[in-house]
Amino acid sequence: MSFLTIATTGKYEEIIKKSRFICHLAPVESESAAKEFIDQVISDNPKANHNCYAYLVGDTDQIQRASDNGEPSGTAGVPILEVLKKNQLHNVVAVVTRYFGGIKLGAGGLIRAYSGTTASAIETIGIVELVDFQMLGITIEYSQLDSLIYFLNTQSIVIKNTDYESQVTVTIAVSISEQENIINELMDLLSGKLSIAKGTIQPVALPYKKGN
């Protein structure tokens, strides 16, 4: 399984006709985490005129919420939500804080401001693809370690951990679709003189660019 989400918690700010718009973004794994993030942003901005938000949570985005927080109906929360959807993001919350600058933007202007600030925040902070990787524990003799490390580095395989005991156990993360090929290559490389234990399946964040 794989899906797109925000690379990290972050924010983006811009001034639109003297109003200050700040988009706060965060990856979340539950609706309660999304609500906690929203509450924190509101707490951090007690003098803001509006804290409008949207979030998508769940394997199929089964939880979707949006709030205009006092802006005219349909001008803030839904436009934020639509930007999240357009970027195919999952398990993410966005809060756009507005400090009113004295110039009214009108419905169209508000929609453009809230959606545009959210889109810019996503582009600035970045998107990652979370891909399920299989953890493999490779146990070998110390004399084999240099050959193993060289192979893993040349294949850009992620090393998660190394345990040094009577033998060495190197835990690596490999994509599920490639695991059998990698196991076979390791068996050939080390002439079968190794043991491989399959561990847990964990999500790994990979850089993502539109058009991938």
Half-sphere exposure of 41 (CA within 13 A, CB side): 27
pLDDT-based confidence at residue 206 (cuts at 50, 70, 90): confident
Amino acid at 27: P
Q: Residue 211 above 60 pLDDT? A: no
For residues 22-36, give the mean pLDDT.
97
Residues 6 or more apart from 44 whose CB is under 8 A from it?
A: none
pLDDT at 209: 67
Asked if 98 and 21 count as a contact pair (C-beta separation under 8 A), the reply is yes
Give kind and range of the element (H or E) at residue 57.
Answer: strand 50-57
Residue 185, pLDDT score: 95
Query: What are the backbone angles phi and psi of residue 85, rounded to the nearest 5°?
Result: -65, -45
pLDDT one-digit tens code per residue, 122-134: 999 999 998 889 9
Q: What is the pLDDT of residue 207?
A: 79
**Domains along the chain?**
2-125 (3.30.230.30), 132-202 (3.30.70.240)
Supply the pTM of this predicted model: 0.79
Rounded distance between C-alpha atoms, residue 24 and residue 79, angstroms: 15
Summary count for the chain: helices (H), strands (E)? 5, 10
In this prediction, residues 66-75 reach a mean pLDDT of: 96
